[in-house]
Structure 1
Amino acid sequence: MPCNESQVFQPIALSPVPLHTQLRERLRERILDGSYAPHAQLPAESELGAIFGVSRITVRQALGDLQKEGLIFKVPGKGTFVAKPKAFQELTQLEGLAEAMSRMGYEIYNQVVSHKTVPASAKVAQKLGLAKDQPVCEIKRVRHLNREPLSLEITYVRAELGERLAGEDLAGRDIFAILENDYGITLGHADLRIEAVLSDAALAHALRVDEGSAILRMERLTHSAGADGTPHSQQVPLDFEYLYFRGDAFQYRLQVARRHP
């Protein structure tokens, strides 16, 4: 059913600010404060025009802006709906997914798909500083956010570390937390590479999305800190991962500053 417009009729006021911009901000405010709940249907364009005292063209411009922002989506023949907010993680510090999501009130559960020893591929060996085909531990987990699959995480560590992790609660804890809190290994820094890919059949099945859906793919190589505790002193490759996130449910955020000479 469409959202009910419960607030008092308040037409858009005359202002130097364009009408569609004012309407966009009004609608965005109601979406973000929960007046229009996720997956709720917005009033029809004609109804919005009557509510706010603007033309249908103005309404379409405002809705178009909101759709580009990912706040709403349109279903042909049915109407316009409020999009479910995406979970996000800041890339300002090195932390595990559960650590970041729990801080924001989300529930994280990990389904351990496999935990086995495999020959290191050329890339995994190069990342971990090993010889090709040397045994490494491969850990596959589907990570669930509020009971819905969010990401597939494939982790590679040296075989001896993988054997220790086999006895840990990998369904309920971040590997980072285990390494630091249980094993006393101080994490230093991580090298990241992020790109967009399309899901194949295996990814689509694991994440419950259509094959060919947009997936956010990250490669992350984490190093332990040096002997003196500083991130780049005697750095040692510790953990190499492929992280695949649903493009419709997750985003990374990063604030960058202009570097001045």
Structure 2
Amino acid sequence: MSTRRPSISPESHVPLYTQIKDVLRTGILDGRYPPMSRMPSESELMTMFDVSRITIRQALGDLQKEGLIFKVHGKGSFVSQPKTFQNVTSLQGFAEAMSESGHEIINRVVQLRFVPAPAEVAAQLGLAEGSGVAEIHRVRLLNRSPVSYEVTFLPEALGKRLKRTELATRDIFLMLENDCAVPLGHADLAIDAIAAAPDIADALDVKKGAPLLRIERLTHDADGEPVDFEYLYFRGDTFQYRLRIDRERSAAGAPRVIRNRQKQSKNN
């Protein structure tokens, strides 16, 4: 970073620690402070901005809350590794989305078996309870590091058309469309957070009980029939799902207004 003192203004209505935080955040986001690099020490930042230690600590504390830096006792503050993210405004498989961003995806097939459908799976896929389904477990590795554990259920007839060797290299979505001639239409997602069970923790190289992002995804074909039900478990420290939502508007084009319908009593 330049030795020229960064521009902050004591006369601004914006607190000094916020101005400093914004300067440092810009340095992190534009690459002047690369991921995993050590940030300047508190003393160095005090000199750089000509402010007190408490002001620097407030700025660094806010950056830590935002997840941009982390602290190592006795060594200082370091820039966090940015999380990979998938935009969920369109229906894509994990490898399909990540490959577009230049990431390497490897699939580790843990299990492929045919079982009677559990009650919830049968209900989601519109099958009679106990009907045969394919159950597929895979670990998805992003740039050689495990990032998600996927449990996929398919109707037995579709599952029998998938090959284990192909599951190690391809997205199931692409296999359904290209190999099974099933055009996909839309998916319903439910997202929550859970603690990692021992087997999933081992597969993702995290501690038992570590927080995971869990997504239940039910994918339908172009005719609206359910064809694929999945539990997706993502490491919360390495991955984000992102989506855009728009404000619902009235027929006239203005934002919908919730009106207070409570009647006020009239003065006598």
Q: TM-score, normalised by structure 1?
A: 0.91
The answer to whether structure 1 residue 199 and structure 2 residue 188 are counterparts is: no
> Could you list the runs of 5+ residues in structure 2 that have no partner in the other structure?
249-254, 257-268
The answer to whether structure 1 residue 177 and structure 2 residue 174 are counterparts is: yes
Aligned to 1:65: 62
How far residue 11 of structure 1 moved from its aligned partner, in angstroms, is 3.9
> Could you list the runs of 5+ residues in structure 1 that have no partner in the other structure?
1-5, 227-234
Q: Distance in 2 between matches of 1:242 and 1:39?
A: 32
How far residue 166 of structure 1 moved from its aligned partner, in angstroms, is 2.3
Conservation of the 8 A alpha-carbon contact between 1:24 and 1:62: yes
Conservation of the 8 A alpha-carbon contact between 1:191 and 1:220: yes
Conservation of the 8 A alpha-carbon contact between 2:112 and 2:164: no
Partner residue of 1:209 out of 206, 209, 224: 206
1:173-209 deviation digits (Å, cap 9, x = unpaired): 1111111233321111111000001112111101001
Aligned to 2:251: none
Change (3 A) 1:11 1:166: closer
Q: Distance in 2 between matches of 1:33 and 1:108?
A: 26
Aligned residue for 2:215, secondary structure, equals strand
Partner residue of 2:232 out of 229, 240, 243: 243
Could you tell me which amino acid in structure 1 is paired with residue 38 of structure 2? Q
Identity across the alignment (%): 56
Aligned to 1:221: 218
How far residue 167 of structure 1 moved from its aligned partner, in angstroms, is 5.5
How far residue 168 of structure 1 moved from its aligned partner, in angstroms, is 5.5
Could you tell me which amino acid in structure 2 is paired with residue 13 of structure 1? I
Aligned to 2:5: 10
245-254 or 164-173: bigger deviation: 164-173
Q: Distance in 1 between matches of 2:146 and 2:164?
A: 24
Could you tell me which amino acid in structure 1 is paired with residue 74 of structure 2? G
Conservation of the 8 A alpha-carbon contact between 2:158 and 2:180: no
Conservation of the 8 A alpha-carbon contact between 2:111 and 2:137: yes
Alignment length, in residue pairs?
248
The answer to whether structure 1 residue 101 and structure 2 residue 90 are counterparts is: no
How far residue 96 of structure 1 moved from its aligned partner, in angstroms, is 0.6
Greater CA radius of gyration, 1 or 2? 2
Q: Distance in 2 between matches of 1:11 and 1:125?
A: 61
Taking only aligned residues, the RMSD between alpha carbons, in angstroms, comes to 1.4
Aligned to 2:42: 45
How far residue 30 of structure 1 moved from its aligned partner, in angstroms, is 1.6
Q: Distance in 1 between matches of 2:164 and 2:144?
A: 24
